[in-house]
Chain A
Amino acid sequence: MRTLHRKLLRDLWRMRLQALAIGLVIGSGIAVFIMMLGAMASLEATRDAYYAQSRFGQLFVHAERVPAAVGEALERIDGVVAAETRITGFATLTFADFVEPVTARLVSVPERGGPVLDRLVIRQGRGLAPDGRDEALVNEAFAEAHALRPGDRILANINGRQRRLSVVGIALSPEFVYAIPPGALLPDDRRFGVLWLSRSTLEAAFDLEGAFNDAVLFLAPAADPEAVRAAVDRLLEPYGGLGAYDRSIQVSAFFVDNEIRQLRTLAAVLPSVFLVVGAFLLQAMCRRMVDTEREQIGVLKAFGYADRTIATHYLTLALLIGLLGVVLGLLAGSWTAGRITELYTQFFRFPLLRYRLEPWVYAVATALGLLAAVLGAWRAVRAAGRLPPAQAMRPPPPPAYRRRGVLGLAVRGILDQPTLMLLRHLLRWPLRSGLAILGIAAALALLLAAMQWRDATAYLVQKEFFEARRMDFTVGFFDPLAPAVVPQMARLPGVLRVEPRRSLAVRFRNGNRVKRGSITGLAPQGRLRRVIDVEKGPVLPDDQGVLLSRTLAAILGVGRGGRIIVETLEDRRRSVELPVSGLFSTYLGIPAYASIALVDRLSGIGDRVGGVDLTIDPARRNAFFRALRESPEVAAVASREARIRAFETTMAETIDIVVAFYVAFALLLTFGTVFNTGRIALSERGRELASLRLLGYSALEASYVLVGELVLMALLALPLGLALGWLLAVWIIATVDNELFRMPLVVFPTTMAWALLAVMAAALVTALALARRVFRLDLVAVLKSRE
């Protein structure tokens, strides 16, 4: 037995490059698995612990003005454990060293004892003092972006009044793990922050003494969330309640969950591509090994080694290669998972997020790697065990070739003999060639699917921020204002064009399909915010009907020309039936548009402007910013350019890193597949190649038979890879199909060219590396040995 083990180790050493190539493919699969699932598990465990510790609410509701007494009624709803009532709003902030507008979300904190739900973690400084008028806590990301520390002061415009706030602490909240400005997809910590102020400060600022406008509820484990939600809505309806929603669409929680969900889905599919290819490569290698060693197997059996021992021998070899893959994969996976988790800390603000080595992830990864090895080797191992010794000691019959349709008479005279040799070899083992082609195609598919993410993001930015939106800034007011504000804004320095806008919270209804949302009224002849109809191109909203985003229309089950009921949730409540005058595509949210006149009519309180879109003269930016700061009515400002920059920075800092990991793994897959296929071909055909050399073919000409076959396989893999890549991209895009955002499916021609080029280059380099062995073939030795 010990001698057999020694043979095993020497065989492994002899085939070390091949073993390494397969180990790398299996290892890539394990690494991707750990990378995704490890990051997922860390994120999930951190999230769950943090949400539980901080008692993150499960139901959220916003209203206009609710008397404080109703808050107690909320707590008495069956199934509600605790209700936190509060005041939330927006403010604009002014910094001496940052000229651009900064918007803050304001959240009130009870005078004593801090919030019961959505508890804050104070990272620096202290909580608000019991009578902490004008004291503020600041979210950590914003504090870091502006180098804010306890003791600093911030100038804030809250509901038209300038207040000098003093920062007493830096805090984290489960509500703002992912803190993004309203309507954005990505954080912009320089231009958006969260400020926690005392309840009394905000009561005074928003004229809400003895009232609240926002509530968070914590439910009993057995509670029926739907029943509670209905009860909350009934209770708050008279006070301008906008409808309660649960944690699954709370913005921050949604993005965290979405990330976890996506990692989990990808972890289920992507690693299996590597593992399946790895198993196939192992199968080809073991098969070849058993073929070349059949005489040794015969001798061993003749000397009394049991079939079982022989089978175990080859199985152990496969398991060692699998183990090599597992070890490489665990190391690479832990490292990449650590890097990915680190990337998440830039977006997700948890009290502590770091890569946690979850034992179960490692156990599953190890099991998967070894399983791939066993399954891959199984057929060859069984064949070795079953080989009758007498038959084993005879050399195998020469491989029988047949003429096949295309390669029969038709091609005689067209193809030279070496080409015919490589074509026949390719067709002689269609399964093996097919699997090799599939392996290369899978690598290309992964490459495309990973690289298209960048294209999709760039395309989304192009469509949403260049084509659909042409304003430089979007300004929101604390309260809807009379139309006279429009010319007033137009007089601000540098302003070139102003278009009014008014949003109304509504409930859409079509039969029993109901969806809460809002209708944004746009200016007649507006040019800054374009609605692009799927059929008609850009359209102007009319006074008669609403334009629905396709996702919203699908939720409501209505098409163009259909009719829906619109129930307004603000101002004078009413219910109106309106025609759907068009559908449009957007990747962001589920908006609906109408003319501002129609929205004014729906609101029932006359003409109002909720905000404006502006273009400005870039040369007068700073003057414009200064004037904006002094406009008391401005509650929030968003810069289109900043949003675009946020996308670009994120892309450079994060997506590119993740894509780079995938590119590396995909190239390893190409290398592993081509190297193994070529190595086996070389072993099978060493004799043929040497004979060619003897017949007067140069080493270069002889290696053409080998390289040509590998390159041909790679070429055949390209269209298949493109198709698979497309399918994979469709599937990945489908995993991010939700109400907040969707991703377009686009692959730019340059991306496709790069992916094709990368796979071809990897295949060619590997093939050429193998071709060097043809140059080094020992002609005499190859001819003397009889296989």
Chain B
Amino acid sequence: MKADIGQPPLLSVRGLGKTYRVGEIEIHALRGVDLQVAAGELLVLLGPSGSGKTTFLNILGTLDLPSSGRILFRGRELTDLDERARTHFRRHHLGFVFQFFNLMPSLTARENVALVTEIATRPMAPEEALQMVGLGHRLDHFPAQLSGGEQQRVAIARAIAKRPELLLCDEPTGALDSATGIVVLEALRQTSREIGATTLIVTHNAAIAAMADRVVRFADGRVVSVTRNPQPVEPAALSW
């Protein structure tokens, strides 16, 4: 699944900067990031904590606003959307997977997925999404009744059930042991491939980079390198 040079990129980031003020101190979280992402690509964003990779992901997810620069999604400006349009963007184009799962404890696995399919335009059935992550047998379990890996797979099912074009994952294995983490990454890789979602995975775990089409390294608020994996490996072959 390579980027097709002939097509316009799905996502085009130019000169993205973000400055926070914490009390008296200015923090430059991002200092001019440029990145082009083609449809269907899987990118791993690597970097130590504080390197800006999560800020970058949050801005792509319209959770945060940049201080400078532009993001074009399918040629449409994302950075000057109002609150309403940002909600619309998240609702229809975006899937999120978080480090701490963020499931609704009061909803079962099926209902957690339905939470998203109810408001999406052409979703798959919640059961189908859960089937895809291998949880077809745990549909009616509440989060408190599921293991960490299972909870994260529910979160993946929830993210892909609406068939998003862009899937953003923030440290999806950060709260899991390595064996469970690999199962989760397999689910992620397989589902994103099936629905053809462009996937960005933020992690500080360099081992995960091997499954990416391209690896983007962050340091000190800048992209320091972008390398293409000639031969991405399947998650099952990863270890850390």
Chain A residues proximal to chain B, CB less than 8 Å = 397-403, 416-418, 420-421, 424-425, 428, 687-688, 690-699, 701, 779-780, 783, 786
Contact = CB atoms under 8 A, between A and B. Distances in A.
B106 A428 contact: yes
28 contacts: A398-B144, A399-B106, A399-B144, A401-B105, A401-B106, A401-B142, A401-B144, A403-B108, A403-B140, A416-B118, A417-B115, A420-B106, A425-B106, A688-B104, A691-B102, A691-B103, A693-B90, A694-B61, A694-B98, A694-B102, A695-B116, A696-B120, A697-B91, A698-B84, A779-B63, A779-B64, A780-B63, A780-B64
B201 to A, nearest CB: 16
A401 B90 CA distance: 28
Nearest to B151: A398
Given A417-B111, A424-B107, A697 B140 contact: no
B144 A695 contact: no
B87 interface: yes
Contacts of B91: 695-697
B56 interface: no
B94 interface: yes
Contacts of A401: 105-107, 142, 144
A399 B90 CA distance: 28
A783 B98 contact: yes
B138 interface: no
Chain B: interface residue count, which band?
A: 35 or more
Given A421-B107, A424-B106, A697 B87 contact: yes
Given A398-B144, A403-B140, A696 B119 contact: yes
Given A688-B104, A695-B91, 8 more contacts: A397-B144, A398-B143, A400-B105, A400-B142, A417-B107, A691-B104, A695-B119, A780-B64
B167 to A, nearest CB: 13
Given A401-B142, A780-B63, A780-B64, A696 B104 contact: no
Contacts of B58: 780
Contacts of B98: 691, 694, 783
Contacts of B114: 417
Contacts of A696: 87-88, 90-92, 94, 116, 119-120, 162
A402 B90 contact: no
B118 A417 contact: yes
Interface string B81-96: 0011001101110101
A614 B179 CA distance: 102
A692 B115 CA distance: 8
B73 interface: no
Given A421-B107, A691-B104, A696-B119, A402 B142 contact: yes
Contacts of A424: 106-107
Contacts, number: 94
Nearest to A415: B111
**Residue among B58, B106, B111, B144 having the largest count of chain A Cβ atoms under 10 Å:** B106
A721 B77 CA distance: 54
Given A695-B96, A696-B91, A398 B84 contact: no
Contacts of B118: 416-417
Interface in B220-238: none
B87 A698 contact: yes
Nearest to B108: A403
Nearest to A688: B104
B158 interface: yes
Contacts of B61: 694
A444 B103 CA distance: 37
A774 to B, nearest CB: 12
A421 B100 contact: no
Contacts of B64: 779-780
A695 B106 contact: no
Nearest to B159: A695
A421 B90 contact: no
A352 to B, nearest CB: 62
A697 to B, nearest CB: 7
Given A398-B143, A403-B140, A779-B63, A695 B107 contact: no
Given A688-B104, A691-B104, A418 B140 contact: no
**Residue among A417, A418, A420, A688 having the largest count of chain B Cβ atoms under 10 Å:** A417
Nearest to B100: A786
Nearest to A425: B106
Nearest to A397: B144
Given A400-B144, A694-B63, A694-B90, A699 B83 contact: yes
Given A417-B115, A417-B118, A420-B107, A694 B96 contact: yes
A416 B118 CA distance: 8
A696 B100 CA distance: 18
B107 to A, nearest CB: 6
**Residue among B96, B119, B143 having the largest count of chain A Cβ atoms under 10 Å:** B119
B117 to A, nearest CB: 9
Contacts of A398: 105, 143-144
B102 A421 contact: no
The 8 closest A-B pairs by CB, nearest first: A696-B91, A424-B106, A400-B144, A417-B115, A691-B102, A696-B90, A698-B87, A779-B63
Contact of B111 (A420, A425, A428, A701): A420
Contacts of B100: 783, 786
